[in-house]
Amino acid sequence: MKISVLGMGYVGLSNATMLSTKYDVICHDIDESKLESIEKRRSPIKDKLISEFSRTKK
């Protein structure tokens, strides 16, 4: 199943991260720089667990 998440802020990115452990997630945001960070596996928000997940999980 593919799931789209709109808004890569604290709410959206947290949910997208959790959902990505089980589903294909497509991230959307009007702020291109946030999507670029996610592409590079860098969290665009300050969150220890999301940053760790982005660095370590495939």
Ligand X SMILES: NC(=O)c1ccc[n+]([C@@H]2O[C@H](COP(=O)([O-])OP(=O)(O)OC[C@H]3O[C@@H](n4cnc5c(N)ncnc54)[C@H](O)[C@@H]3O)[C@@H](O)[C@H]2O)c1
Residues making contact with ligand X (CB under 6 A): 6-12, 28-31, 34
Nearer Cβ to ligand X (7/53): 7
Tokens of residue 53, six digits: 């997940």
User: Which sign does the torsion angle of CA 3, 48, 42, 12 carry?
Assistant: positive
Residue with tokens 């220890």: 48
Q: How far is the CB of 23 from ligand X (least distance, A)?
A: 19
Query: What's the half-sphere exposure (Cβ side, CA atoms, 13 Å) at 10?
Result: 3
Nearer to ligand X, 22 or 46 (CB): 46
Q: What is the closest distance, in whole angstroms, from the C-beta atom of residue 14 to ligand X in the complex?
A: 8
